[in-house]
A and B are shown apart, each in its own frame.
Chain A
């Protein structure tokens, strides 16, 4: 599913978090939002998720205007920075959550939900850990649970906020590979936020560089490196 944002602006109290931002992401693309903290990248991601409302501008998913739709009705999967797993639910309970809150008419039967949970556990390579609780998992495993949970309702769009931020380098590399593979396998359109340019360049098809609420450059990693569009980009990627 393609994503298009037109002239988005949003400010928090006095300072502008996003300033007239436009961006167009093709279906199936894997895009990184890269920038220093305070550059507006997380705000942009949260607006795409429906967790924030822009002051002006429009968000399109394919031909549908979703600017004022709530997060529940957008058909997205969202992976939070600290995962935001439900501590009082088992891993299986966390993953099944999205299916169990569906209205009675469209909710799959219990057995079907259990089967989906097993499939998702397999997809993120956590088979057999469904009965554990989040507090009994390592950081990398929690991150995989968060990913599986976000995919339970088969979203077409996956949004990730600093998905590898809290992990050590080795786990990070493993998970990166796994995420890219899942993205390709499921034909998702994915956008992730990061402040780590090495990660953005290694993983994304295209990278949007943000600074002070504006997009400085939006291009493939190779092009950003070959032709930085501004002084900010040059200094940020060196």
Chain B
């Protein structure tokens, strides 16, 4: 520690203890409680709860929504970050601010927007009904709401990274005879691969865990339009606590796997990260 930062021992001890207690109470305790409640009646009951028909359907639906929205937001996130970091254009500041919008808008409002647009009473409702297209209370609505809420993750991760890297590598590739496409695949993408991966992992975690926006557009039809978070709520409201905590524990597990993957990647590539690429 540098001489300028030599706090007296009691101050340091208080700070460290306060941080640890806070993390324990706010983060570890709830997570532990979920796991404990889920397994309170033993493995067989847990297994039965997560393999029950509606629970299985909710798991499948959650995975499907994530499988559609994460790749889409990855592609658009990279495109947005590329445009913002490497080009000068009018409205750039506005675009940068807009990307953050889903973070500052309440998820419930994000969901309502789509109901307003595509719902039975919505602007496009009559037209959709006439053509027998279902968006709200169906998979397309769930995907749209998830796309909206998880849009910023990839772009936000990449914009500072790509801005810092500048365009020299791409320019070098061009002077060496590469096409724009080749420069992107062979130079840009490898340069941002870790940032991109973090963004995708975070995007995925949120896509699977999103409740508010999805809740508004879902319609809560069990076995059909309930994703895992919605299924947890439904079971909880039925006083089926074991079932609710069992599905919740799966969700928590997904989050932990995401975190573990991110940490493992950081550790495995720590030299490259320290070297700045």
Contacts and interface: CB of A to CB of B under 8 A. Distances in A.
Interface residues of B, number: 19
Interface in B119-172: 168-169, 171-172
Given A72-B179, A87-B275, A98-B177, A51 B187 contact: no
Interface residues of A, number: 26
B190 interface: yes
Contacts of A77: 175
A70 B176 contact: no
A97 B168 contact: no
Contacts of B182: 101
B174 A87 contact: no
Given A82-B168, A87-B275, A101 B175 contact: no
5 contacts: A80-B168, A85-B172, A86-B186, A102-B177, A153-B177
Contact of B174 (A51, A102, A135): A51
A192 interface: no
Contact of B178 (A49, A97, A135): A97
Contact of A86 (B169, B177, B272): B169
A86 B277 CA distance: 10
A210 B7 CA distance: 55
B172 A70 contact: no
B191 interface: yes
A72 B175 contact: yes
A88 interface: yes
B189 to A, nearest CB: 10
Contacts of B254: none
A197 B180 CA distance: 37
Interface string A29-50: 0000000000000000000011
A86 B187 contact: yes
A98 B179 CA distance: 11
A84 B170 CA distance: 9
